[in-house]
Structure 1
């Protein structure tokens, strides 16, 4: 059953060194505040999972928190590559991470398999693709009914999943509006989950079927207004495009990156996110 707590408390109680962790969100509601708290607490040796790793994974990798990345796309959306990820893979700075690359379809199905308690996901995919040549976790099975050859990948079962949402009620029920990616499946597949929200309300004022995650499926809920910045939160604030553009130059140089991380992550708090979206609310 969901418990309400501060983000530092939620991270300390639910994430351990060596864990497999997912920080999911698709184009918006990306849990930046949670990732920053993980960096501040110095948790290391993480296996990170995400369909679309972007800035927060670049930051986690650059700060040496990651040993492995399981993903289906990695980049600074609308800008280009992830420079800290590339530096790690190509040059081993600050450490050389292991990568396991999949398709979007494989990741989505793997989350669903994990949520269903299945050992692997089976789907039509990878036809004509060569990714299986570099990823031994892409295999095939034969349908016992039709004889059709199908792709198979291991189920994704994170130790902990972090997501951001618009609101939660006081019973712990979570409402996600706008684009919904695999947040529900990622939470249900995980042993533990931490949900940061823009606000906590007495009533979600929506149809029960619109409640993406009921309180009994969530471990911790944390009030962190602006916690998705620089991504957007539908109905609350728009995407901070300038931050994504600026990140490319910030991440290009190791010293510049470390200085930015000190000023904006290590020396900050979850409460700082509310101030970061003030200008976005005004412009909305």
Structure 2
């Protein structure tokens, strides 16, 4: 059974300097609170993995925590660029980072391969793709049965994965409802997994037909952090904070504004602040 503990303890116990780490979420349930705790604890030389890096990776890159990013698509959702990410790539600020860019299909298959304990993912894709010119980890193999040429990429196997979810039960199982991206596979592929949740309940009731239940044996620690996905949304709990995404474009476009924001909104903040941030976005129960 995973240990239910504070977010500070969960991050300190599971994340280490130099780790390959995934903070996964797709459109909603993005683990912002967990990423902010990682920033507060000052980890360095991280390899960040994510299908769709957004603001939290922009913040971690801008704060100088990152040596490499393995990803597919990077942007401020619905707004535009990740400006701290771009500043690091184009200007080596605050230092140079390595990037390994893939398609969504490649990343999804790489996570699935990692979850299955396989060394690589093999799939149809990348025919004529420009990414093959800049990513040496995109290979091709010939099917021994059909002779078809297929794409191959290394399996993704993080040292630790962080996700956010709606609920955990007393047994340590986790319920994810709504849009489900690659969270399940990211947990299964990782050596350690931490889940932040909106609440812990006795057991799950009225579960929707597309829900995903991640069993307790796949999870290392659970931390209760209401609002922990803000400014993304958590279906059934609070809406997406569109204004925060627009504001991030302004903040991230200026190095001084960014550094002041990190100091005020992350380094001087606490996990409990996330509940306040979503108060005006709460769904009617």
Q: TM-score w.r.t. structure 1 length?
A: 0.98
Taking the aligned partners of 1:106 and 1:206, their CA distance within structure 2 comes to 34
Q: How far has the Cα of 1:212 moved from its partner?
A: 2.3
| Segments ≥4 residues shifted beyond 4 Å | 206-211
On the 8 A contact 1:175/1:213 being kept in 2, the answer is yes
Spell out the pairing of 1:38-187 with structure 2 (5 A cutoff): 38-187=38-187
Note closer, same or farther for the CA distance 1:80–1:208 as it changes in structure 2 (3 Å cut).
Answer: closer
Unaligned runs of 5+ in 2: none
Taking the aligned partners of 2:46 and 2:206, their CA distance within structure 1 comes to 37
On the 8 A contact 1:11/1:38 being kept in 2, the answer is yes
State the match for 2:220 in structure 1.
219
State the match for 2:21 in structure 1.
21
1:233 and 2:234 correspond:
yes
On the 8 A contact 1:5/1:222 being kept in 2, the answer is yes
Taking the aligned partners of 2:170 and 2:73, their CA distance within structure 1 comes to 36
On the 8 A contact 2:236/2:283 being kept in 1, the answer is no
Taking the aligned partners of 1:106 and 1:275, their CA distance within structure 2 comes to 37
Taking the aligned partners of 1:212 and 1:136, their CA distance within structure 2 comes to 36
On the 8 A contact 1:173/1:211 being kept in 2, the answer is no
* Per-residue deviation, residues 181-224 of structure 1 (Å, max 9, x unmatched): 00000000000000000000001125699442011110100000
* Per-residue deviation, residues 141-180 of structure 1 (Å, max 9, x unmatched): 1100000000000000000000000000011100000000
3-state DSSP of counterpart to 2:269: coil
* Per-residue deviation, residues 231-284 of structure 1 (Å, max 9, x unmatched): 000010000000000000100000000001111000000011000001112799
Note closer, same or farther for the CA distance 1:171–1:208 as it changes in structure 2 (3 Å cut).
Answer: farther
Taking the aligned partners of 1:266 and 1:207, their CA distance within structure 2 comes to 37
Q: How many matched pairs?
A: 284
Note closer, same or farther for the CA distance 1:200–1:255 as it changes in structure 2 (3 Å cut).
Answer: same
Unaligned runs of 5+ in 1: none
State the match for 1:4 in structure 2.
4
Cα root mean square deviation, aligned: 1.4
